[in-house]
Amino acid sequence: MARAPSCRGFLMASTVSDGDGSADRYRRAQRGLTRLLLRDVGRLWRLFSPAQPSAFPDWLEAANELVARYGDMSASLAAEFYDAQRADADVDGTFTAPLTDAVPADQTEASLRWATHDVWPADGEAEAGRDPLASRLAVAERRTEAVTQKLVADQGRETVRRAVREDRQAVGYARAAALGACAFCRLMASRGMVYKSAGTAGRDANDRFSGDASVAKFHNDCHCGIIPVFRGQRFELSAHAQEWDRLYREYAAPFPGDQLRLFRRAIAEHG
């Protein structure tokens, strides 16, 4: 796979944080890639024709190629970020982060079919009574942007996760969420450097989690990043993540089963 443009300049000290400069620069690099992706998704959307459903497979193929190309760049950015972080950590041995494979075409196709499934009526469904076509197209376009963003971002995130799993000098990773992130992402980021396996992450954080994806869950339009931590380093929550942790412990932690809702309310009232 081709590697994306250089991201050198990420710095790491003995104390690592989700709010340090290297994490912010990496997140901005991935956000910049997302902007380019959505620009091209918008151009591709002009070729989407509800009047020609027979042309839909060709549109799917073009969209899949777009996701594969940007996914490779996301993985490249992530691998270079990881390698730079590891070099600055000055740990023993050599390790180069492997680039995660492209998202399987059938996974991309399934996501895009979900995003656009309301454009055409289902078998036996009458057109009368449905939302106007313009509204359905607008929803489908927003969903297409959201699912392609996630597929591409996930390839970068999985590159870091895979490197942490395979690198003997990596002890885990933390989730870095932006200030405007949703309540779920803020809650996961406030947990700190607990991520490497389902056991350390706490499978009971969400009873719908299963499999390896239970270690770190991401949603459409999620721009959270992953920060690796190596032997000899100490992870420290940023000031805003510390505040999220305080809100959680004070207003939500004592109420199992209702914690996310209460945390969301605490953010709205106190955040």
Give residue 122's pLDDT band: very low, low, confident or very high (50, 70, 90). confident
SS3 breakdown of the chain: % helix, strand, coil, rounded to 5?
A: 55, 5, 35
Other Cβ atoms closer than 10 A to 86: 22
What's the average model confidence in pLDDT over 84-91? Answer: 93
Give the model confidence (pLDDT) of 20-33 as tens digits: 888 889 989 999 99
Predicted structure pTM score = 0.84
Give the model confidence (pLDDT) of 191-243 as tens digits: 999 876 444 433 334 433 333 444 578 999 999 999 999 999 999 999 999 99
Instruction: Tell me the C-alpha to C-alpha distance, in Å, between residue 126 and each of 37, 121, 258.
Output: 35, 7, 41
Which of 48, 165, 47, 43 lies closest to 100 in space, CA to CA? 165
Q: How many residues does the chain have?
A: 271
One-letter amino acid identity for 252?
A: A
Q: Is the pLDDT of residue 254 over 50?
A: yes
What pairing do the DSSP bridges indicate for beta strands 15-17 and 234-236? Answer: parallel
Give the model confidence (pLDDT) of 172-181 as tens digits: 999 999 888 9
Angstrom distance (rounded) from CA 72 to CA 159? 10
One-letter amino acid identity for 193?
A: M
Angstrom distance (rounded) from CA 10 to CA 22? 4
Give the burial string for 156-170 (b: 16+ CB within 10 Å, else e).
bbbbbbbbbeebebb
Predicted pLDDT of residue 21: 87
Q: Is 86 left (phi over 0), alpha (psi -120 to 50) or beta?
A: alpha
Give the model confidence (pLDDT) of 229-247 as tens digits: 999 999 999 999 999 999 9
Query: What percent of the chain shows pLDDT beyond 90?
Result: 73
H/E run at residue 15: strand 15-17
